[in-house]
Structure 1
């Protein structure tokens, strides 16, 4: 499952390869409330087809209508604004006073989309620099944590997995978590030393590693853009990996298991070289409480909690499994 941005880029490359002209539209700045964040992508083809999104739909309609009426006439990138006045904000579905600024770039073989996709297939984080005066494109290695930049001469975007997720265990639940995380721009690594679980793995775009999880945690040098989720139910695999992850800078560390099993896990971790402060970072039972029972629902619960933590949502506004009352009929292994 591709991320939305990757889908936009792949579709644009396919349009170019078949002789169509198209434009790549990037949200470069917003004021007030906006339906889509800075960096969101959309591509519009010369026949009116569109992929991606930069608003709730009204701006897309305007972009499509302009292409259908006038064709693609731009030869150089251009920065345009929508929603400057209250009337325009209402027309384009923006909150009153809201403004969105877009960079619209005509694409062609010179745009480097094929090369960008090649690098993304290698899980590289890529910086794409567009010269607003000449349309020239340069690709370079991006620095983790860098953000979209707009100047009078250039706009610079970052592409590729901005976040890393290490999943311990290659079971059924891991497949759902990996699929959703990949669509959310995570570079996903699944670690499982058990051959019987690796043999059934069916996600070629997710890195599968045969190693002891704690060794891999150390090797990956987890940073603030990294997350770890232990999903094996096997203390021999989960505990040592969690111990190392809790000592790292990973923004999220979670483990599956019932409340009782997580209480026992916390007792075991304290017997290792884990402090109370480090242990307090452990999310377990993992995930937000949404009444999840199936592997797909549990995966959504886990990614929802990861997203809340990543986005700085206060703990008081989250209802996680550890805080929720036991729901009748909820299987204890689901949390």
Structure 2
């Protein structure tokens, strides 16, 4: 889940603890274009204060107006639909004919928000089942790939820890990669035990660690929402960390370097008793081929590939950097030797 929806849950917990009534609003389904996807959330307090978002703002305005005019009087969950007619679509800022379906759930101590937050803090992937008739909530483990489901009886939403990115090496490319990843709502950690590289390296919203990278990988307990990109070019720093990452559940593991350097890296990894399947998970040269020449462009290339993998998109072979270089396409990056 992203930081916005995590903040919604934390705010709900705070409001309930302070004695306020509040409702949790969840996007169930959209038809046409929509600013927020299914599963996005908003919390609204009994005085009309809100956190989070379910639309571009106009649906939120209507929810606030309803609370201020009628008070917070729901006792059970309710399914509400906006935007069925063209007039409603115009009023609520939806495209003509667009529709957004919401679940509005009055919260209480029985809503198990605090327990859900505790599980998320332990990096668990959680399925939260809301009984629509009674408002009762059950929490259980969710499998990777599960999505929001609505039946006549229940709404099941999937909650997981934020997507994480570990960057090995605190260089110039790392700065661009971290900056863009933070903008994409990743929880970013940069690891570099070399003081000369860490000195002066600072990026808002990024955790900096100075231990050996393989120790950081082990400590982070990488899960299916974690990714690792090695950028140091130093086998003493990269190889052991990549070995640990390739044995983990991380959805993406990549390394900078030329085709020749990555071939040698794979040979070294075989000495660590990694299986062929584990080594095949390594993406290197990292990124997709877009003719990258600058650190910023390389960062975009890496995150484009990472996004495709995260979203389950199988990239064609000719999108890889290795294919682009071997096919004799126009020269790309010379900055980091990823050709």
- Whether the 8 Å contact between 1:83 and 1:98 is mirrored in structure 2 is yes
1:282 to 274, 281, 284: 284
Q: Hey, what's the Cα distance between the residues in 1 that align with 2:25 and 2:285?
A: 38
Structure 2: gaps of 5 or more residues: 271-275
Aligned partner of 2:38 in structure 1 is: 38
How far apart are the structure 2 equivalents of 1:128 and 1:41? 14
Quick one: distance in 2 between partners of 1:316 and 1:57? 41
Look up the match of 2:214: 213
Which residue is equivalent to 1:269?
265
Compute the displacement of 1:269 (Å). Answer: 2.7
Q: Distance in 1 between matches of 2:183 and 2:113?
A: 19
- 1:27 matched to which residue of 2? 27
- Relative distance call for 1:271 and 1:205 in structure 2 (3 A) is closer
2:335 aligns with 332
| Residue 142 in structure 1 maps to residue 142 in structure 2 | yes
How far did 1:281 drift? Answer: 3.7
Contact 2:259–2:285 under 8 Å retained in 1: no
Aligned to 2:273: none
TM value normalised by structure 1: 0.73
Judged with a 3 Å threshold, the aligned counterparts in structure 2 of structure 1 residues 133 and 54 are, in CA distance, closer, same or farther, namely same
Deviations 1:206-236 (A, max 9, x none): 797966639958x96876x553211333222
Residues 31 and 262 from structure 1, CA distance in 2 versus in 1: closer, same or farther, beyond 3 angstroms?
A: same
Contact 1:287 1:303 survives alignment (8 Å): no
Following TM superposition, by how much is the alpha carbon of 1:245 offset from its aligned partner in structure 2, in angstroms?
Answer: 5.6
Aligned CA distance change for structure 1 residues 304 and 47 (closer, same or farther; 3 Å): farther
The answer to whether the Cα contact below 8 Å between 1:128 and 1:140 also exists between their aligned partners in 2 is: yes
Paired residue for 1:51? 51
3-state SS of the aligned residue for 1:332?
coil
Q: How does 1:24-173 map to 2 (within 5 A)?
A: 24-161=24-161, 163=163, 165-169=165-169
- Structure 1: distance between partners of 2:281 and 2:75: 56
Q: Retained in 2: the 8 A contact 1:254–1:286?
A: no
How many angstroms apart in 1 are the aligned matches of 2:292 and 2:35? 25
Deviations 1:107-126 (A, max 9, x none): 12222222222222222222
1:73 offset after TM fit, Å?
Answer: 1.4
Match of 1:237 in 2: 237
Question: Cα gap change, 1:210/1:67 in structure 2, threshold over 3 Å: closer, same or farther?
Answer: same
- SS state at 1:119 partner: helix
With over 3 angstroms needed to count, the CA separation of the structure-2 counterparts of 1:172 and 1:137, relative to structure 1, is farther
Secondary structure of the equivalent of 1:100? strand
Note if contact 2:188-2:205 (Cα within 8 Å) is conserved in structure 1.
Answer: no
- Root-mean-square deviation (CA), in Å? 4.5
Name the stretch that deviates more: 241-250 or 305-314: 241-250
* In 2: Cα distance, 1:114 partner to 1:16 partner: 10
- Asked if 1 retains the 8 angstrom alpha-carbon contact of 2:79 and 2:103, the reply is yes
Could you tell me which runs of 5 or more consecutive residues in structure 1 were left unpaired when the two chains were aligned. none
Conservation of the 8 A alpha-carbon contact between 1:262 and 1:285: no
CA shift in 2, pair 1:52/1:210, >3 Å = same
| Cα shift at 1:9 | 0.9
